[in-house]
Amino acid sequence: MSSGTVDTTVQRSVLRLVVFGIEGQQYALPLSTVERAFPMVAVSTLPKAPAITLGVINISGQVIPVVDIRKRFGLPGRVFDPRARLLVARTPRRILAMPVDTVLGVKEVMAETVTAPDAVLPGIGHVAGIATLPDGLLFIHDLESFLSLDEERQLTEALQEVRG
C-alpha cells in the first residue's frame, strides 16, 4: 500500500464458540471460557447448595460445582447417563461444570450475525446473544449471569463447609 492510499477493508470480528446440545436445541459458550469437555461422571451431593446445583465433582483435586443448565432454562430434568457430557467452564468468580446432552464442537460465528437476545425473545435470561445458523438458532449462553448473587453466596458457603 502506498503512503497516499487508505485501507478501506473492514476487520470482521469472529466469535469462537463451543457448541453443545440440550433437548435438540443448540447452545454455545465462548471458547475462551471453556476449559474442557469429558464424559459424565458421578456427582457427589453438596449440602446447603442452591437448588440449581446438582452437586460437585473432583477434577485433579479441585472440587468443582456441577450446575443444572436445564433447570435454569426451564427444561425438563434428566437422569444423566454416561452418554451425557460435562462442560467445564470459567466464570469471573469460579469454575463450573454443566451436564449437556452433546458437545458439537467449536464453531466460528461472525460477530455481526449475533443479535441481542431481547430483540428476538424479550425477557430471555442468561443468554448473551442469538446467532442465526443455516440449521437453526444458536443461543450463546451468558455464564457470568448464570448464578444470582444469592446463589453465588450460598454456593460459596456450601463449598467452604465441604473444604472445612
Per-residue model confidence as pLDDT tens digits over 24-63: 889 999 999 999 999 999 999 999 999 999 999 999 889 9
At residue 162, the pLDDT reads: 78
Q: What is the pLDDT along the chain (164 residues), one digit of tens a residue?
A: 444 544 444 456 988 999 999 988 899 999 999 999 999 999 999 999 999 999 999 998 899 999 998 888 888 888 887 888 999 999 888 999 999 999 999 999 988 888 776 666 655 666 788 888 888 888 888 888 888 889 999 999 999 987 76
- Is 89 part of a structural domain of the chain? yes
- Is 34 part of a structural domain of the chain? yes
- How far is residue 164's CA from residue 141's CA, in Å, rounded to a whole number? 33
- Is 115 part of a structural domain of the chain? yes
- Is 118 part of a structural domain of the chain? yes
- How far is residue 6's CA from residue 39's CA, in Å, rounded to a whole number? 52
97 C-beta neighbours (distance < 10 Å), count = 24
- Is 1 part of a structural domain of the chain? no
Which CATH number do you get for residue 157? 2.40.50.180
In degrees rounded to 5, what are phi and psi of residue 77? Answer: -65, 165
- Is 9 part of a structural domain of the chain? no
- The whole-model pTM stands at 0.82
Expressed as residue numbers, the domain containing 46 is 14-163
- Is 122 part of a structural domain of the chain? yes
Q: How many domains does the chain have?
A: 1
